[in-house]
Chain A
């Protein structure tokens, strides 16, 4: 499930996204944006791995990558 990229600190399961905008509104680094009503990762290198998106997404779309989560 999702694309658990090696270098990306977060992974998304985009099919489940309902486009509520909570992750994009609260991500402190502007990593998550909505495109055509679904979440997209932009500039993943800016991600600090705070995990806020993983906690706030009501639809369980976003996961901190295993590399960071450890």
Chain B
């Protein structure tokens, strides 16, 4: 009995493949439209995904800088005592002292050929500072704010700076982009689902005689519906595969062109393509869309002839 059920499924599967090939032009149009939609979605996801990793990477070396008052000499003992106080603040993982001489050296390095303008200075105008590494839990904008406040109250600290605004607005940007991506995903799911649904309905229509005959000689609901689900799934999966291949092609060829103008958003690190898990998710998204479209188009198929 089990063998019979399996064979029935196999036959239904064969019929689905038959449907897929029966109207190659319709299938091709449906697949390419879906592929185009999924391509747009994929490109967008790549963009957002890479922005997100910038955010994560930036978060891992987020630093607070606490400046001592300008012009005040800080003896080594004083610096050591302040460093101890700073490490005592909750959320601070490590402290590094940057003397005013070291700060000037760095500035000189950054200026490079223009360092000559520093020659006219009578004395070093840069204050000594402490670079603070923040614990993993304290990197959210609110936590940073709190840490900055407690440090600011310490005696001997004049000013606290951190990348607050930049991080916050970038995070907001990424979040908005993610929401837009979700919206785009839902929109495309509806549009592409409707496309598959339309294609499958065409097949159902073309095969209505066959369906009626199959029913009359005892075909069950699943035997009749399965081929259409399979056809939808096949279209969705093929479209997703095609979209990923195309995207990868564009990625490999066109990346050098787009990377430079987008560097301000993506940072200097090399952007990454989808990993295997993400590729699988996209393919499953396509397959799911195809099935859903087929299911919708079969909702109105009557149970009795």
Q: Do A and B come from one complex?
A: no
The chain A residues found within 8 Å of chain B, CB to CB, are: none
- State the B residues within 8 Å of A (CB): none
